[in-house]
């Protein structure tokens, strides 16, 4: 099926039959390739609305994101109430 209309409906119909495969070259600080980062198709959204390419997340952004938004287990448990399941 080809996209003949530029509408969300035709895109939805197309995507219903498609599986996206995200492939990337593993990058660490020693082989970082900025050109590849520009074409990274897997992204992480952060709670403050930033979109970070997966290719740079672990090497550059993880300490910032964890420092700004991370919580200890005790903080998390204190803020969240357990879900009561009714059986």
25 phi, psi to nearest 5 deg:
-85, 130
**DSSP H stretches of helix in 1-87:** 8-15, 34-38, 54-56, 62-69, 73-79
- What is the C-alpha to C-alpha distance for residues 64 and 56, in angstroms, rounded to an integer? 12
What the block records as the tokens of 51 is 């979109």
More confident residue, 39 or 75: 75
- Overall pTM > 0.75: no
pLDDT tens-digit map of 28-71:
888 888 888 888 878 889 989 999 888 888 888 889 999 999 99
């Amino acid at each position: 099926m080809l996209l003949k209309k530029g509408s969300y409906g035709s895109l939805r119909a197309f995507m219903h039959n498609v599986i996206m495969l995200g492939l990337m070259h593993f990058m660490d600080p020693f082989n970082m390739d900025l050109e590849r980062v520009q074409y990274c198709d897997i992204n992480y959204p952060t709670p403050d609305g930033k979109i970070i390419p997966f290719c740079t997340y672990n090497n550059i952004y993880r300490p910032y994101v964890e420092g700004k938004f991370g919580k200890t287990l005790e903080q998390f448990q204190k803020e969240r109430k357990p879900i009561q399941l009714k059986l």
